[in-house]
Amino acid sequence: MTTQTLTITAPDDWHIHLRDNQALDTTVPHAASSFHRVICMPNLTPPVKTTEQAVAYRKRILTALAKANISDDRKANFDPRMVLYLTDHTMPDEIAVAKTSGIVSAVKLYPAGATTNSADGVTDILGRSSVFEAMQKHGIPLLVHGEVTHADVDIFDREKRFLDEILSVIIKNFPKLKVVMEHITTADAADFCLAQADNIAATITPQHLLFNRNHLLVGGVKPHFYCLPILKRERHQKRLLEVATSGNPKFFLGTDSAPHATHTKEAACGCAGCYSAPHALPLYATAFESVNALDKLENFASIFGAKFYELPINTNTITLVKKEQVIANNYPYLDGKTLTPLLAGQTLAWSLHE
């Protein structure tokens, strides 16, 4: 019997957290082993607020890449694309500078307090009109963490409320602005995206395709399934799988791979984020195979995102093999700490062909 293989155009990750400094020694080789372009989230401490800071951050990523123990081919193909962190003080002029830089691909909107390192996020989102106007003019996409943050809104309703109260207003006021609804988690978000014009798209993570809130909460709290927006009920997981495998170019790959040291997740107040970069493609293959849609993986992982960002399609390929792999229990991270990946110690049916 021959082993099943799947060769696809080399994929890109349109949403990843690489962190900074020493963390890059762990995260960059993992990202570069699977992906060509990666959209690097700017929620560092302090955040990446200007093009100048983005240029410096990209240099630190490339320094880590040069040191990485991966093939020269992988290194040559890795292209970290930068994102500016929108604050209450971002000026429209910064958008023109970002555009001419050629390395800033987008601006990220974190509602203040929504998630990890979002304290500098926006408090008056609809008050940022002059910046949205400049982004619309220069064709710079707005990447949205779509959750309201009011204490009185239930955590499971925060995404839907953001669509109704904030995103629909932004889209109405700036109908040509490109928007990526990042890491969508509900049928509401999927259907909202479908109802919009082509300039509105969405990324979907592997965890939101493979899991629901039962995986997080039944039989004990599983901190490595905790991310934001939080996993929702199974009905939403199913709808996300449906749209991801529908062949609609509005939906594409964004892992939201987000490293936190193991002890900060396995804690009384655990951090949000699932670390999936090393095995993200086998995870997505597992999700797509579960609904007999492996033939839809290439467009989702390698084509639709590039088209949305108006970038060329990668010319290389990667091959996935239907060969079991045991996911590492953890990776070395920072000074003597560890990083626990999503599904640590468990077996996946798919592997990346080396």
Residue 108's binding partner among ligand DOR, Zn ion, none (Cβ under 5 to 8 angstroms by kind) is none
Rank residues 9 and 43 by Cβ distance to ligand DOR and give the closer one. 43
For ligand DOR, the closer of residues 227 and 342 by Cβ is 227
Looking at the annotation, which residues are catalytic?
A: 256
- Contacting residues toward ligand DOR, per CB under 6 A: 17, 43, 115-116, 145, 227-228, 258, 272-273
Question: Residue 256 interacts with Zn ion (CB under 5 A)?
Answer: yes
Choices 39-47, 76-84, 119-127, 328-336 (CB under 5 A): range interacting with Zn ion: 39-47
Residue 153 contact partner, candidates Zn ion, ligand DOR, none, CB within 5 to 8 A by sort of partner? none
Least separation in angstroms between residue 223's CB and ligand DOR is 11
Q: How far is the CB of 247 from ligand DOR (least distance, A)?
A: 27
Strands of the sheet containing 317-321, edge to edge, are 5-9, 317-321, 351-352
Binding residues for Zn ion, rule CB under 5 A, total 2
Residue 92 beta carbon to ligand DOR: minimum distance, rounded to whole angstroms: 25
Residue 229 to residue 155: CA distance in whole angstroms: 8
Q: Which is nearer to ligand DOR, 15 or 81 (CB)?
A: 15
Q: Is position 13 an interface residue for Zn ion (rule: CB under 5 A)?
A: no
Buried residues in 189-215 as b, exposed as e (16+ CB within 10 A): bbebbeebeebbbbbbbbbbbbbbbee
Residue 159 makes contact with Zn ion by CB under 5 A: no
